[in-house]
Amino acid sequence: MAYMKKELGLLTLLTLPFISSADWLDVNMPVGVTDISQDVFGLHMLMFWIMIAIGVVVFGVLFYAMWKYRRSNNKTAADFEENHKLEIAWTVVPTIILILMALPASSLLKKMYDHEAEEGGIDIQVIGWQWKWQYKYLDEKVGDKPLSFFSNLTTPSDQYETNQATKGENYLLEVDEEVVVPINTPIRFLITSNDVIHSWYMSDFAVKQDAIPGFINVAKTTINEPGVYRGNCTELCGERHAYMPVVVRAVTRDEYQDWLQSKKDAAEQVAFLTEKDWTLAELMEQGEEIYNTRCAACHQMNGAGIPGFYPALAGSDLVLYDKPKHIEILMEGVRGSQMQSFAEQLNEVEMASVITFTRQSWGNDRAGDGEIVIPKDIVEYKQKDS
């Protein structure tokens, strides 16, 4: 009897997902929080049940024939080759079924590809960078430029670089700046890239669009429920492809207006802060934080870089002795290398503090010119440029 027990165990294991239905639902596609995503889910379920019905009919006939014409039943099966009526039927019936399935599918596709701007809608440009997303709110201006920010991964690197560390709740799905959007408002995401091909994916909205340099792909969505939604880059875009999550926070219209105002105030605050007299300690504190989130992925926490890939900043001649060149490389980047321009990513204060931090850390302060860089230096650089 022992073996029977084993079989029964296996049977329960196989049927378990059906028994505890809550777990079973988790295996299915997410329903999402937009009309389109709910339609996609509905279509998926419709197809699923059509497939189940076809499966039941086909296997029903198969098993019936196996049982009816089993040897012990002594039936003799009809013996014929070719049957035109039957052949026409098994061609025509599936064709009709396929056409019936294509109708709702194509009408939904058409709905998904409606990219028209709508009254009261907002446009957000989404730009993929190795390895982060930039968001520009095209209808909201700060000075003469659209409100813009970068969204960087905040999961501490020891969580993904070692096996031991316990993972946080939103492991690899958390960022410093979430994209805040209002609910019940048509939002157009205008998706493009600054370097290689990325893909902006948010399953709760049923949006997945390639971000291609030189092209703009549009995805329109209206979110029905407030909440925080998390997605990924879904195009292999280099070494840190897994580390550029998408996080959208959907809020009420009032909360959205408050958030916009605070963003604009903060941007104006920067102009004021560049005038302030900065001490070394203040610059270092900000600089370290920025270095760890923006630079350490390549140049490493200890500034030693990775030989052959990323130059060391500790002991670098450029960092030690050439302040103008140091500012220039951060403002302009190095064409054709992974060292990108940070001019748009960091404001004057952040830029000055991260440069100062690299000039004063890892023993760099003991040699070289030791000059710190203050926000005014960056302002001057920008003025010279224009």
Q: Contact residues for ligand HEC (CB under 6 A)?
A: 130, 294-295, 297-299, 310-311, 313, 316, 318-319, 326, 329-330, 334, 337-339, 342, 354, 358
Min dist CB 52 to ligand HEC, Å, is 49
CA atoms within 13 A on the CB side of 66: 6
Beta bridge partners of 250: 181, 227
What part of residues 12-31 is at the interface with Cu ion (CB under 5 A)?
Answer: none
Locus of tokens 């870089």: 305
Which option in Cu ion, ligand HEC, none does residue 233 bind, with CB closer than 5 to 8 A by kind? Cu ion
Min dist CB 370 to ligand HEC, Å, is 15
Total count of residues recorded for the chain: 386
Min dist CB 183 to ligand HEC, Å, is 34
Question: Smallest Cα–Cα separation from 354: which of 282, 290, 270?
Answer: 290
Min dist CB 235 to ligand HEC, Å, is 17
Among residues 175, 223, 233, 378, the one that binds Cu ion under rule CB under 5 A: 233
Min dist CB 156 to ligand HEC, Å, is 16
Our CB check for ligand HEC shows the closer of 214 and 308 to be: 308
Considering the rule CB under 5 A, would residue 132 count as an interface residue with Cu ion?
Answer: no
CA 87 vs CA 59, 83, 91, 99: distances in Å:
18, 6, 6, 19
Which option in Cu ion, ligand HEC, none does residue 237 bind, with CB closer than 5 to 8 A by kind? Cu ion
How far is Cα 276 from Cα 227, in angstroms, rounded to an integer?
38
Which option in Cu ion, ligand HEC, none does residue 318 bind, with CB closer than 5 to 8 A by kind? ligand HEC
Name the token pair of 130: 């190795």
Min dist CB 233 to ligand HEC, Å, is 15
Among residues 153, 183, 223, 237, the one that binds Cu ion under rule CB under 5 A: 237
Question: Smallest Cα–Cα separation from 347: which of 298, 300, 290, 277?
Answer: 290
What part of residues 172-201 is at the interface with Cu ion (CB under 5 A)?
Answer: 198
Quick check: bond before 362 cis, omega within 30?
no
Find all residues with CB under 8 Å of 344, minimum gap 6, and list them. 134, 148
How far is Cα 242 from Cα 168, in angstroms, rounded to an integer?
16
On whether the CB atoms of residues 331 and 381 are closer than 8 A, the answer is yes
Our CB check for ligand HEC shows the closer of 132 and 220 to be: 132
Q: Site residues (CB under 5 A) for Cu ion? A: 198, 233, 237
